[in-house]
Amino acid sequence: MRKQTGILSKLYIAACFAFFYLPIVVTVIFSFNSSKSLSRFSGFSMRWYASLLGNGEIVKAVYVSVTIAILATVISTVLGTMTAIGLSRQRKVLRDAILGMNDIPILNPDIVTAISWMLLFSSMGLQKGYLTMLLAHIGFCTPFVITSVYPKVRSLDPNLANAAMDLGATPAQALFRVIIPMIRPGIFAGALLAFTMSFDDFVISYFVTGNGVKNISIVVYNMTKRINPTINALSTIVIAVIFAILLVMSLLPKKAVSEGKVSSRSGVRGGKIRKWIAACVVIVIVAGLSALMYSGANAQPAVLRVYNAGEYVEPALLDQFQEEYNCTVIYETFESNEMMYTKLQAGDEYDILVPSDYMIERLIREDYLQPVDWSLIENKDAINPDIMNLSYDPGNVYSVPYFWGSVGILYDTTVVDEKDLEDGWNLLQNPKYAGNLYMYDSERDSFMVALKALGYSMNTSDEKEIREAYDWLIRQRDNMKPIYAGDDAMDNMIAGNKAISVTYSGDATYAISENEDLDYFQPEEGTNLWYDAMVITKNCENVELAHAFMDFMLREESAELNTLFIGYTTSVESVYEKMQEEDFEGIEAYVPRVGHPNDEIFAYQDAQTKKLYAELWTKVKAQ
C-alpha cells in the first residue's frame, strides 16, 4: 500500500508548499528591511531585531500568546477528548444537545462571540485579563477538538472497550490503553487546530482581555496604523525556532524517536520524549498560573490605566514616567474611537483616555468624563493657543490637547497635474485618474469629502444634503472605481501603486518623508480639522497621578520625543515650531491650516443621522 511517491506527487507537494510559504518568505525578507516599509526593500539591516528586543510590550505579548496557546490547547484537548468519548455513549437527546451547542462558537462570526463573552464576563464580575482570555480561548478551541475527535470515536467499534474490560481491564485502563491510542490521529489533529486557532486569534482576545494583558495579535493589530517590520522580525524568530525544533527532532537518533512514538501509542512504557513533553507542559502551566497570580495581585499603590490609540506614544516616555512617579502604567491601545467606546460601554475601567474630538463630545454628553483641574497642569501655557477652546470642548473643561491635524489629498507629483488641483475635492472625480485613487474607508470621512465638494457643512443633519452627498459618492464609485482602503493605503502610496489618496495630515507627513514624489494639499472648499486629546474618566482612581501624566506629556522634552516617534503635529507650540525648522522642514502636511473659514471639526452625531450615514455608506461600497 505504501509505495514510492511518484515524481508528480512530489511536484504537487512542492507546489503546495511554495504557495503556503511564499507570504512567509516575503515576511522574513522584509524583517531585514532598513526602512519602515513592508513593500519596498531598501537595504539590509538588523534594526528591527534590535527594536524587538527593546520592546517590552512585544516580549510580554509573546509570553502571553505562547502560554495561553499551550494552556488552552492542553485543557481543550483533554476536555474535548473526554467529551467526545462520553458523547458516543450518551443518550441521543443529550448528545444532540451538546453537539448542537458545540457548533455555535464555530459558526458564529468571531465578533459576535467576542461581544457576547465580553458581556458575559462583565456580568459575572470577573476581572478581565489573563484568566478571562484563557477561558475564552478554551471556549473556542474545545469545539474544534470535539469536531476532530468525535468522528474518530464514532468510527470505533464500541465492543473494543467492552472486550478489554471483559479481559479484566479496569475502565481507566480500557480508556487509556484501548480507546485513546485508537483515536490518536483525531486528538493530534484537534490539538493542532486548537493551538493554531488560539495563537492567531485577535477579535475574541481583544474584547475579553483587560488590565494590560495582550497577546501578539492584539499588538500587531494596533500597530496597523504604523505597521513596521518589528513584527516581521518576531515572525522570523518564531519560524526559526519551529524549524530548529523540527531539525533537532529529525536529527535525533531514529531509534529514540520511534521508541518514544511506540511507547506513547501503546501507552505501556513512558518514553523519554513523553517525559520531556510532560515536563514542558508542567513548566508552562506553572508559568501561566504565576502570570495569573501576578495579574491578579497588582497591589502596587499607584496604578494609572491609560487607553490610547495604537502606536501613539513613544514607549520610553512611559518608562520614564513610571520611574519618576514611582507608579505602574497599565497601557492599553485601541484601533478606533468606536472600539474604545465599545469597551467603555461594557464597563471596562480606565483612568486616562485619548479619543478624538467628536468622541470627546460624545463622552462628555454621556457623562463618562470628569473636568480637568488646570491648576495641576503646570505646562498649560506650552499648548498652542490655536488649538484650545474649540467646538468639541469649549473652554477645555474636560480635555488636554495631544496631537492634531487636517484631512487632505496626498498625491503623486509625477502623475497628477498641478493644474488639476484647482478642482479641490472634485479632483477625486477627474476621469484622468480613474482607477488610480484611494478613498478613506470610513463613512464620516468619505461623506465629509462629498459634502465639502458640494459646498455643505460636513456636520449637516439635513437629509436632502446627505442624499446629495450620497449621489456624489455613487457617481464617484461608478466613474472613478476608487479603492476604499484603510491605513494600508499609506504603504501603497509610498510604493507608488496609486496616485491619489484621501489622507490624514500626520500620515501624509510620514509618507512624504518616505517618498519625495508625494505631496499634500488641503482643498479650498474646506476640510476636517481633527484633534486628539487626553481626558480623565469619571471613575478615575488616582486623579492626581492622571494630571501628572498629562502634564508630563506636555513637557517640551517629552513632546519632542513623542513627536519624533509618531510624526504627527504636536500640541506643544515650541516643539511644533522646532519641528518645522528641523525634522519636518519643507513638509507642508506637518503644518495644518489654521483659521480657514470653510474648515470644520466633526461634531457629535445623533443616532438617527449616524444610522443614515452607515446605511448609505454600505450602499456605496456594496455594489
Partner 1 sequence: MRHFRKLSMPYLIWCIIFILIPLVLIVLYAFTTVGNHVISLNFSLANFAKINDPTYIRVFIKSFELGVITTIICFIGGYPLAFIISRQKESVQDLLILLVTVPTWINMLLRTYAWMNILADNGIINGLLSRLGLGQVTMMYTNFSVVLGMVCNFMPFMIIPIHTSLSKMDGSLIEAAMDLGANRLQTFRMVIFRLSMPGVINGVVMVFLMAISSFVIPKLLGGGQFVLIGNLIESQFISIGDWNFGSAISTILAVLILIAMRLMKSMDLKEAEAN
Contacts of 557 (CB under 8 A, 6+ apart): none
- Binding piece for partner 1, criterion CB under 8 A, among 95-103, 303-311, 321-329, 574-582: 95-103
Residue 324 binds to partner 1 (criterion: CB under 8 A): no
C-beta atoms surrounding 418 within 10 Å: 10
Query: How far apart, in Å, are the Cα atoms of 428 and each of 409, 439, 468?
Result: 9, 9, 16
Residue 459 binds to partner 1 (criterion: CB under 8 A): no
E strand or H helix at 491:
helix 488-495
Using CB under 8 A as the criterion, what x/- string covers residues 540-579 for binding partner 1?
----------------------------------------
Q: Given candidates 63, 252, 486, 542, which one binds partner 1 under the rule CB under 8 A? A: 486
CB nearer to partner 1: give 69 or 372: 69
Phi-psi region of 526 (alpha: psi -120 to 50; beta: other; left: phi over 0): left
Q: Given candidates 483, 564, 591, 603, which one binds partner 1 under the rule CB under 8 A? A: 483
Residue 280 binds to partner 1 (criterion: CB under 8 A): no
Q: Are the C-beta atoms of 187 and 170 separated by less than 8 Å?
A: no
Residue 216 binds to partner 1 (criterion: CB under 8 A): yes
Residue 492 binds to partner 1 (criterion: CB under 8 A): yes
Q: What's the one-letter identity of residue 286?
A: V
d(CA 596, CA 527): 9
CB nearer to partner 1: give 531 or 617: 617
d(CA 370, CA 535): 8
Q: Given candidates 68, 85, 490, 554, which one binds partner 1 under the rule CB under 8 A? A: 85
CB nearer to partner 1: give 22 or 50: 22
Least distance (Å) between residue 307 CB and partner 1: 16
Residue 135 binds to partner 1 (criterion: CB under 8 A): yes
Q: Name which of residues 494 to 513 contact partner 1 (CB under 8 A).
A: 495-498
Residue 414 binds to partner 1 (criterion: CB under 8 A): no
Residue 242 binds to partner 1 (criterion: CB under 8 A): yes
C-alpha cell at 255: 531509534
d(CA 388, CA 384): 7
Residue 104 binds to partner 1 (criterion: CB under 8 A): yes
Short-list 74, 99, 72, CA closest to 153: 99
Residue 23 binds to partner 1 (criterion: CB under 8 A): yes
d(CA 525, CA 530): 16
Q: For helices 230-251 and 7-30, what crossing angle results, to 10°?
A: 140
d(CA 591, CA 460): 27
Residue 299 binds to partner 1 (criterion: CB under 8 A): no
Short-list 506, 524, 529, 533, CA closest to 602: 529
Q: Which residue has the cell 480637568?
A: 372
- Binding piece for partner 1, criterion CB under 8 A, among 219-227, 289-297, 461-469, 577-585: 219-227
Q: Name which of residues 177 to 206 contact partner 1 (CB under 8 A).
A: 185-186, 188-189, 192-193, 195-196, 199-200, 202
- Binding piece for partner 1, criterion CB under 8 A, among 281-289, 348-356, 565-573, 609-617: 609-617
Q: Given candidates 62, 126, 165, 543, which one binds partner 1 under the rule CB under 8 A? A: 165
Residue 359 binds to partner 1 (criterion: CB under 8 A): no
d(CA 346, CA 362): 16
Q: Given candidates 73, 102, 537, 570, which one binds partner 1 under the rule CB under 8 A? A: 102
Q: Are the C-beta atoms of 376 and 544 separated by less than 8 Å?
A: yes
Q: Given candidates 352, 439, 451, 518, which one binds partner 1 under the rule CB under 8 A? A: 439
